[in-house]
Structures are given as structure tokens and as C-alpha cells.
Chains A and B, each alone.
Chain A
Amino acid sequence: MDVVGFLVSWITLFSIYSILSISLNLEAGYTGISNFGKAAFYGIGAFFAAVISLSAFLMLNGLSYPLYSLETIISMGTLSKQNPILSILIFLFTVVLAFFVSGIAGYMVSYPTLRVGPAFLGITVLSFGELLRIFLRNFQPTGGTYGLAGIPHPFAFIQDPAVKDFMFMLVTLVILAIMYIFSEKFVNSPYGRIMKSIREDEIASLCLGKDVPKIKAQVLFIGSGMAGVAGALLAYYMGSINPDIFVPSLTFEVWAMVILGGLANNKGALLGAGIITFLNRASVILNFTFQNLPIDVNYIRWMIVGLLIVASLLFKPEGLIPEDPKSSFIWNFVEEKEPISLKKRMEETSKKVKFYIKKVFDWFAMGGG
């Protein structure tokens, strides 16, 4: 078995899913928005990146093939290797733009629903995802059920596939680090404290003059944008995407990561993503080694994901790494006490000892009663 290849693919997938789980943690963990449509925004990012990069390559080379065709896939194989700087530039450009496109989609979907309670938001966003998936399955310009293929890899000019994957893993890790640091700073800012106050009590924060629907919509913009970046990375990593990747089950996989790791804790989101993506990769390998099982190993993996959600809600609702109420750095100033000197501490101790000795003598003086 190729251990290095396994690790590289696991870490790449881990970084992509961690971006997703961190973004869901911003929404569900910190702000209390029940977003069940993560897969929709993930898919928007992926399809956007695929369409833009394919059409950019076709346009710059003066070709006019349809996006989903054999000619496109074949020509992409040679075109993507010609100009390293161009392919990396297009990669960065689409990843940044995917953030805004998915974010705007999230903002627009959230607009009518934020005012009507968590259940309706969940339903609407979930059905929005299913709607997009069914639409893309029947929409021929993006390939229908086959999806898009031949998405030019940003490091296609590197000959060795192992080095190519390793470079891509480094890029995803860098993007994950940016997202992680951003969300840590974000939730510990004054804005983050407003988010937490909305989660704890919407009415109270409304009464304090916070525009609750607006803040929720802004958080959804950021969260959906992060999901879009993850989707764009997935599109470049896989090289081909189809609408059936973005099923609702994928959303619940992300929910399982966040709940298992611990809501409102970015480290927990990373831990959950690590566990679930390990299951994901392991099931791929198991499927490959045992060909003749009566059940697809993927079914068992999904069942485990469902069980993990229910079991962690039942037995460990705070998650593996619970939320640290003092994680925000303002607490360091509030809770900090004056350092006590050794002399003062010894004085206090001797005072206590004298007090107890006096008490014992008094007891004897009273005649033991």
C-alpha cells in the first residue's frame, strides 16, 4: 500500500473538509444558524471554478468547444501544461472569486428566511441545495448528470504526479491556515461576541440594538464563501465534478464533524474533520481491497456518520473538545489577578494555622464539649 499517497490524499481532503467544518462552525456553533445547505454552496463554488477555468482556457486559446465534450477534455490535457504562470493565476483568481459568488448566493438565500426561525431556514436552505442538484442534473450546458471533466490542474506542468499532489496539498494547507486564523480572530473580535450573544438569546441582543437578521446574513455570507472556496479546491483536486457529489448527506457529514469535534470550537472542527475524512479515505481503500462484499462499504460509512451525530448528541453534546468560554483574549484582562508575593502567602498561611490552633485550645478549655 502506498502510505505516502494515502497521507497526501487524506491531508488534502482533510484541509478541504476542515474549511467546510470551520465555516459551519462559524454559522452553527457561534451564531446558532442551522444551515443544512452546506453542500449547495460547496457545489456552487465547485461548479463556478470549473466553468470559469475551463472557459478561460478555451477562450484564451481561441477554441469554441462546448464545456462538456471530449475535445475539451483532450485539449485541456495539453493546454494546462503550456503556461505554468497562467494556470496558477487562473487557479488563484477562481478560488478568490468562488468565495464571493458562493457568499452572495448564501446572502440572497438567507434574506427571506432569516426572519422566520431556525426550522424554516434549515428547510429552505436544504431544499435550495436539492433544487440546485436536480437542476444541474438536467442542465445540459454543464454536462447534465456527467458533470464537467478535464478541469486544468494548477500544477499540471509538473511531470511527477506525486509531486503534483504534494504541491496541491501544500496549497490547500496554506488556504486552511488562512481560514483558521481568520475565523479565530473573527470569533474573538467584538463582532464574534455579538454572534455568540445572538446564539444565546436572540431577543436580548435585539433589545441591545443589534440588527440580528443582518448579522446572521453577514455570517452566512462569510460561511458560504468559505464553503465556495472549499468547493473550488475540490474541483481542482478531483479534476472532474458532477452534481451527485453534492447530495444532502455531504452536509450531514460536515455537521457530524462539527458536532463530534465540539460546537463553537475551531480546534474541535479540525479534529472532527480529521476523524470523518479518515473514515472516508479508509472506506475507499476497503472498497478497493474487498471487491466482493454484499454491501458497499460507503453505506456503512454513512451509517456510522449518522450514528455519530445521534450518539454525540445523546452522550457528549458538548463534543470532544468543548467550547472554552474564556478562549477570547479579553478574558485574560478580566480574570487576571495580582500576583501574590511569597511573603504575603506565608503570612496568610501562618494566620490560618494560628486560628486553628487557637480553636483546638479553646475546645480543650471548654472541657471537650
Chain B
Amino acid sequence: MNLIDLGVVINTLWIGLIYSLMAIPLTISYKVTRVLNFAHTSLVTVGAYVAVILSLVYPDFFSNVFVALIAAFFAGAIVAILNHKFVYRKLMDKEASPVILMIASLGSWIFLKYLIYSVISIVSKVIKKDLYFAVPAFRYTLNLNFLGISNPSLTYSLILGISLIVLTFVVFYRTSFGKAMRAVSDNPQLAQISGISDESVMTLTWFLCGGLAAISGVFWAMFSYASPEFADSLILQVFAACVIGGISSIALTILGGFVIAGAENILMSILYNLIGLDLSFRPFLSFLTLLIVILVRPPAGAAGGLPYRLKFKRERKWT
């Protein structure tokens, strides 16, 4: 009996890559700014829709994938920075607790989500195209034969995604800016004494994280379609990937993305072929993975529970 086929494996690889690309900015922004950003999914949607709308309205210029990616990067980055300046920074100045910041991010999530909805409904009336299930009009010049499957959008997103992850690692661990980010994440006060402005580090972090989140949205739109709900329906998987990494380690977050994708696709396929499990149980598998991780290996990262709270309280004193 054939439990899994090659298509499922390739799907797992691709979806795992997308999950890790979506989860990495969340981890980095939590590490550096101590905000568990629920508005993250809105950033993903912003990126996807900026690329889709631009490629539909200006097909000659933005049908190039790279140009569209850069546009989406800047759109996501600007939204993230504005969100930081108007909400998180002001709350941090009032010495708000991390829980308050988390609730504020929920508020900005719901605001951004319905702002995107209204913008989409206006734009789709103006350009007279249905944007609720929109596919970007990219032209692909490169097409590799990957394990017997030749799909240009798959090729593009695999190559670009892997290079982006490598780039993130280089920025975080090999540049002076990455060093500053790690310093602020370890101890903001000590970093400030050493002459690192935590405000500018945080702004740059939001710039990077917003941009990365937006790009992951474009990848998703390239392979399937963009809808205002797609990022919100992935929230369980993305947060589960982060929890596997303890919201602190980038490498473990990437592993988490692939674990969740494997549980959803390979395990689902095996269970479906073995015992005929209904496909509607798919999200239960990722939730189960999340629960098992929390029970077996309680996250020891910055977001840890009672034993870690004291340390956390001492560190979290904003100037």
C-alpha cells in the first residue's frame, strides 16, 4: 500500500518553508521588542495584496517577481513601523506589561484586518475585478525540474525562500546590526548603556520583520491565491511553529515550521490511507503537535511560564 506519494512530500517541503518564513519574523520581533505581535497575519495579507493588486493594475512593470517582492517588502515594513510608532512605542513609554502589549497587538490586528477588507472592496470596485480570491499575474522566466515536478512558482518560491532564510541568518548573526538586535533582546538596559539606541534598533527590526512577513504572503499568493482570510487561517500553524522554537530560537522555529507541515501533510496522508481519517481533522494534528510540544518540552524561551517569570520581570524595564 502506498502511504505517501512524492507530491505530498514536495508539498510538505514547500509549505514548511512558507510556515518558517512566516514564523521567523514573529520570533525575531518578539525576541527584540517583547511584543507578541498578533497583527503579524495582517502584515502577511498586506504583502500578498500589494503584490497582487500591483501586478493586476500595472502588469508591464510589476509582473516581474522581484519588483513585486520589493514593493510588498516596503509596504509590509511601512505598516509594521507605523504600528510600532503609534501603538507599541507609546505603550512601552508608559511601561506597559507584555500582556498589555499583546492585547494592543490584538486591537491593531482587528483594525488592520478590516482596513484591508475595506481597501480591497473599494479597489475591486474600481478595477472591476474580484479580489477576494485573487491570483497574481506574474511572468516566470525560470523553470527548473524539481524532483519530477516542474512548476515555475514552486521553483521561484523555493529558491527565493531558502535564500531569504540564509540572508536572515547572515543579518542576525554576522552583521553589526544583528549584534545590536541580539544585545537589545538580551538586555535592553545594558545595550542602551553601551550606546545602542533601542528605539532605532526596534524600528529597524520592525522594518525587517514587516518586510519578511509581507514577502511570505507573496509566496503564498504565488502558489495558491490571496484572500483576506488566508493568513488568519494559518495563525495556528505559524504560532505553533514559533512555540516549538520557544519564540526565541530562529533555527528551532524553522524546524517547527517543517514539523508542523509534516504533521499536516505526511501524517495526515498516512492516517488517511491507513484508517481513513477524515480530512477535516487536519488542523487537529497541528494542534496536537502544539500541545505535545508544550507538555513534553515546555518552552524555556523568553515567554516561559512561572519559573521564568522572575527573570523576565527583572529584564523588562524600559527606559
Q: Which A residues are within 8 Å of any B CB, using their own CB?
A: 32, 34, 36, 112-113, 115-120, 122-124, 126-128, 130-131, 134-135, 137-139, 202-203, 206, 212, 248-249, 252, 255-256, 259, 294-296, 299-300, 302-303, 305-310, 313-314, 317
Contact = CB atoms under 8 A, between A and B. Distances in A.
Contacts of A300: 114, 118
Given A115-B298, A295-B118, A306-B110, A127 B306 contact: no
B103 interface: yes
Main secondary structure on chain B at its contact with chain A? helix
Interface residues of B, number: 56
A249 B295 contact: no
Given A120-B294, A206-B306, A295-B122, 20 more contacts: A115-B298, A119-B102, A122-B36, A123-B243, A127-B240, A130-B236, A203-B306, A203-B310, A248-B232, A249-B113, A252-B109, A294-B121, A294-B125, A296-B118, A296-B121, A306-B111, A309-B104, A310-B87, A313-B96, A314-B104
Interface string B106-126: 111111111101100110010
Nearest to A302: B114
B61 interface: no
B291 interface: yes
Contact of A310 (B104, B235, B240): B104
25 contacts: A112-B294, A116-B298, A119-B303, A123-B243, A127-B235, A127-B287, A130-B233, A130-B236, A131-B236, A138-B278, A203-B310, A248-B232, A248-B235, A255-B103, A256-B107, A259-B103, A294-B122, A296-B118, A302-B113, A306-B107, A309-B107, A313-B91, A313-B107, A314-B90, A317-B94
Complex A-B, nearest 3 residue pairs according to Cβ-Cβ distance, in ascending order: A306-B111, A309-B107, A138-B280
A116 B96 contact: no
A137 B281 CA distance: 11
Contact of B309 (A34, A203, A307): A203
Given A36-B106, A313-B91, A313-B96, A126 B235 contact: yes
A111 to B, nearest CB: 9
B279 interface: yes
A82 B107 CA distance: 47
B284 interface: yes
A220 to B, nearest CB: 15
B280 A119 contact: no
B279 A138 contact: yes
B99 interface: yes
A252 B110 contact: yes
B59 interface: no
Contacts of B295: 112
Nearest to A248: B232
B283 interface: yes
B7 interface: no
Interface string B68-93: 00000000000000000001001100
B308 interface: yes
B247 interface: yes
A113 B36 contact: no
Contacts of A113: 294
Contact of B287 (A131, A296, A299, A317): A131
A138 B280 CA distance: 5
Given A294-B121, A314-B91, A249 B36 contact: no
B239 interface: yes
